[in-house]
Structure 1
Amino acid sequence: MRYLIDPEVVWIPSDQEVRLYSARSGEFHTLNRTAAEIWLQQAESGSVTEAAAELSRRHGAEDAAQHALIAKDVREFVDRLLAQELLVVEPVESAGAAGAADD
C-alpha cells in the first residue's frame, strides 16, 4: 500500500522542519526534524518500507533490531498522518502492480 499527501495539504520544507496547512481541517502544523524526514520520504516514495529503509541507512542502523525500531516509528507516524487526513491511501487503480505488494 502506498500513501500520498492529501491534495488539500499545502506544505513547504523550512530549516529542518516542514510546515504544512490542511485546507480540509483548516489546521497548520510544523513538523520537527525527525517528522520532517519521514514526511519528505513519504512525499518521495509513498512507501513506509522505503522510507524506513532510507532513514535506517541515513541514521546508521547497525542491526535488524535498530531497523525494526525505525520501521515501527515510521509506521506509527504515518498512521497518525492518515488519521489526521494529511496522507491518503493511493487509489488501487493508480497504484499499479508496484504498489500492490508494499506495506
Structure 2
Amino acid sequence: MSLRISEAVIWQETGEGVSLYHTETGDFHSLNDTGSRIWKLVASDGECEPVMFKLSREFAGSNSAMSRQIVADVRDFIGAMIEQGLIEEVPSEKAEKAVT
C-alpha cells in the first residue's frame, strides 16, 4: 500500500514533534516523537511496509517479539491517520505497472 499526506493537511516540525492542521475539518493534532517519526517516514517514503520495517529494525533490532509489536503499532497508527483523513492510501507504482 502506498501512502501520502493528505493535501488538506498542513504540518510542521516543532520542538516537541510534529503539529498537524486539517484544513477541511479544522482539527489540530500534535504527534509525539514516535508518531512524528512515522509521519516523516510516510512523508518521505510513501510505502507502508518499508515504514513499518524501518521502525522495527530501528527500535527492535533482532528482537522478533518486539518487532511484531512495533509493526502492529505502526499499522494501527497509520490506520488511525487514514480514518481521520490525515493520510491517504494511493495505488502503488508497482501495482499500476503490473496492471498496464
Q: TM-score, normalised by structure 2?
A: 0.86
Aligned length: 98
> Structure 2 vs 1, CA of residues 100 and 21 (structure 1 numbering), >3 Å: closer, same or farther?
farther
Return 5+ residue gaps in structure 2 as ranges: none
Percent identity over the alignment is 31
1:39 maps to: 39
CA root-mean-square deviation: 2.0
Q: Equivalent residue of 1:85, what SS? A: coil
Answering whether residue 62 of structure 2 is matched by residue 62 of structure 1, we say yes
Structure 2 CA distance, aligned partners of 1:4 and 1:97? 15
Return 5+ residue gaps in structure 1 as ranges: none
Q: Which amino acid aligns with 1:11?
A: W
Say which is worse superposed, 61-70 or 34-43, in terms of deviation.
61-70
1:21 maps to: 21
Structure 1: 4+ residue segments shifted above 3 A: 98-101
1:96 maps to: 93
Structure 2 CA distance, aligned partners of 1:99 and 1:84? 26
Q: TM-score, normalised by structure 1?
A: 0.84
